[in-house]
Structure 1
Amino acid sequence: MKKLIVALLLAAVPLLGLAAGGGVHLDDADIDVSDQASLQRGAKYFVNYCLSCHSAKFQRYNRMAKDLGLTEDEVKENLMFTTDKIGDTMNIAMSEANAEAWFGTAPPDLSLIARARGVDYIYTYLRGFYVDPARPFGVNNVVFKDVGMPHVMWELQGMQKAVFHEVDGQQVVEKLVPVEGAAGKGKLSPEEFDGAMRDLTAFLSYVAEPIQLERKRIGVWVLLFIGIFFVLAYLLKKEYWKDIH
């Protein structure tokens, strides 16, 4: 029993490291990848605002159509701007050489970004741009210091400015507030923009693991099987050792 407890504690050490890392507050994304309407809206935002620079090269349009409850014709008409073949992956036309010349580095593929960073990180990042004249594109980000990406959704959100406070001699972002005037007002209200970014985050989570709902469904049955097997194995062990104990 003591060895089992020690093994469980050792297994939990990496999780404790993850929980303690980063030091930046992340907002709860609260996504639902089973909500097809949310995923459809997220796909719309992705192809309109992200796909010009960021690919999702592990995701095929026809697979997306099936999983999101869309017909192939609907995908072709509304979500395909860089290719004419429904079986193609979500690639971009911009070459890496041009991307490096324009942005300093090639924008990363976003196929697995939700698994690499987590949905809370993505949700906070998308809503965390603020004005910073020192940066090449005039913006910075609360979770990605000195970000090299422009705020492509500023028309939806409006521009924000950071309110800083000092922690251990360093300036830390306390909160973000809209800038004064028309520039601080986006086409969407703050609540609508948060909902839109939640939809986009849900779509990126789906892209990172399209089979996650099936995995979780199967996982429940696997755990039930293990539970039943444990009971039977324990009773068998008791039967084998009853004369010794």
Structure 2
Amino acid sequence: MKRMTTCLLLFISSTSLVWAASSNYPLDTVEININDKASLQRGAQVFMNYCLSCHSAKYMRYSRMAQDLGLTEQEVTDNLMFTTDKIHDPMTIAMQSKDSEGWFGVTPPDLSLVARSRGPEWLHTYLRTFYLDPSRPTGVNNLVFKDTAMPHVLWPLQGWQELADKDSDTSSTKLELAVAGTLSPSEYEKMLDDLVNFMTYMGEPARLEREKLGPWVLFYIALFCGVAYFLKREYWKDIH
């Protein structure tokens, strides 16, 4: 009994710490459609160009991505492979952990499962809410992840934002565009939709097959229930 009580207290304490570390900034609404191959292809291009230089995705292989996204191996090799020349390699990076920790203060995490652990809504909001903060080593901060060590790598596309006003309630904080990027705000939102869509797919590639097989599995269960019902009637007809 004492052991169970201790485990319960530890669980409650750890949960409280997680909530204490999280922001109360309202998260964006995101529509995920991993069957949209055009969106996944655009998201993959952004991921390879802006994310894969620091973050790995070691649980995803280029060959699997080519198969699922409707790309040929040559297209992937020519346009999306910058860290290796072997199509069956996982998405690793050349940067060493000790170097990245020295530069950023922390090793950039692998992004294979970040959409499953954080959620697409969190990812979308995080990538949208960087703002200028001269007090930080990277010159930026984030409304969702306060004091983040990550630089705003998408600034050429979004531009630079700054705090328009800051209320004591973080959820009321607003941002305004100080320096425009190459994309308009609506275009940047669309780009984030594609990037988050791709990262959601990357977190569970088997979901594509699972969703295709789902209706057939339900049909089989319904058919089996009908057969089982008539078998039950036949076996129990002398009793009921």
| TM-score bracket, shorter-length normalisation | 0.7 to 0.9
Q: Within 1, Cα distance between the matches of 2:219 and 2:141?
A: 48
Provide structure 2 residue ranges, at least 5 long, that are not aligned to the other structure. Answer: 1-14
Instruction: Identify the residue that residue 176 of structure 1 maps to in structure 2.
Output: 175
Instruction: Identify the residue that residue 195 of structure 2 maps to in structure 1.
Output: 200
Q: 1:166 aligns with which of 162, 165, 168?
A: 168
- My pick for the range that moved more, 104-113 or 30-39, is 30-39
Aligned pair count reads 219
- Normalization by structure 2: what TM-score? 0.82
Deviation at residue 229 of structure 1 after TM alignment:
3.8
Preserved CA contact (<8 Å) 2:25 2:171: no
* CA RMSD between the two structures: 2.2
What are the equivalent positions in structure 2 for 1:127-142 lying under 5 Å apart? 127-142=128-143
Instruction: Identify the residue that residue 34 of structure 1 maps to in structure 2.
Output: 35
Instruction: Identify the residue that residue 218 of structure 1 maps to in structure 2.
Output: 213
State the secondary structure of the residue aligned to 1:44.
helix
Q: Within 2, Cα distance between the matches of 1:75 and 1:236?
A: 53
Preserved CA contact (<8 Å) 1:164 1:172: no
Instruction: Identify the residue that residue 150 of structure 1 maps to in structure 2.
Output: 151
Deviation at residue 140 of structure 1 after TM alignment:
1.3
Counterpart residue type for residue 175 of structure 1: K
Q: Within 1, Cα distance between the matches of 2:166 and 2:225?
A: 55
Preserved CA contact (<8 Å) 1:161 1:177: yes
Q: Is 1:82 aligned with 2:86?
A: no
Deviation at residue 238 of structure 1 after TM alignment:
6.8
State the secondary structure of the residue aligned to 2:54.
coil
**Deviations, residues 195-224 of structure 1 (Å, cap 9, x unaligned):** 111111111111111121211222222233
Deviation at residue 43 of structure 1 after TM alignment:
0.9
Deviation at residue 174 of structure 1 after TM alignment:
2.5
- Normalization by structure 1: what TM-score? 0.81
Deviation at residue 173 of structure 1 after TM alignment:
4.5
Deviation at residue 231 of structure 1 after TM alignment:
5.1
Counterpart residue type for residue 165 of structure 1: D
Distance 1:158 1:227, change over 3 A: same
Q: Within 2, Cα distance between the matches of 1:67 and 1:132?
A: 40
State the secondary structure of the residue aligned to 2:219.
helix
Provide structure 1 residue ranges, at least 5 long, that are not aligned to the other structure. Answer: 1-16
State the secondary structure of the residue aligned to 2:176.
strand
Q: Within 2, Cα distance between the matches of 1:83 and 1:56?
A: 13
Instruction: Identify the residue that residue 11 of structure 2 maps to in structure 1.
Output: none
